Structure 1
Amino acid sequence: MNEKRLHAVPGAGTPITEADLHAYADGQLPPARRAEVETFLAAHPQDQARVDEWREQRRLLHAMLDPVLDEPLPLRLPLA
């Protein structure tokens, strides 16, 4: 993946990356980094809008695909 660097968080040492935004949208950041991303997003509404779109996409995909997880395995599927 092409690691796109965004802006640094004031007072923090590590710039927020595209990967950080995706991890934030998926709820996969540790608390300290999540706080840094939230500070960044508060100052960058265009990036907040992108994260909101990704969260909505995730919600829609889960709504559409989660029911498949409850379907029984086809009998013709080899289990070995």
Structure 2
Amino acid sequence: MDGKTVRGARRADGTQVHLLAAMSGDGLVKAQREVHAKTNEITVFRPLLTPLNLTDTVVTFDALHSQAAHARFLPRTGTPTTSP
């Protein structure tokens, strides 16, 4: 997962367009959502990943998404994890 501000793209109010994308290992974008101007990527994390089948998938992201709520959400999207 990675978020990017789209260079040269602006909304009617002048704010820049920011997108969060989920990509496969070969670089193909599997899902993408706009991050609205008055929020951040954290609010888009779950809605972006919910429709994807993440069974047997490693999800990587930057430190911004190292949230307890995201850690609790991810095991429910695919195969449940167990502690050693």
Give the TM-score normalised by the residue count of structure 1.
Answer: 0.27
Query: Greater helix percent: which structure?
Result: 1
Query: Greater strand percent: which structure?
Result: 2
Higher CA-based Rg: 1
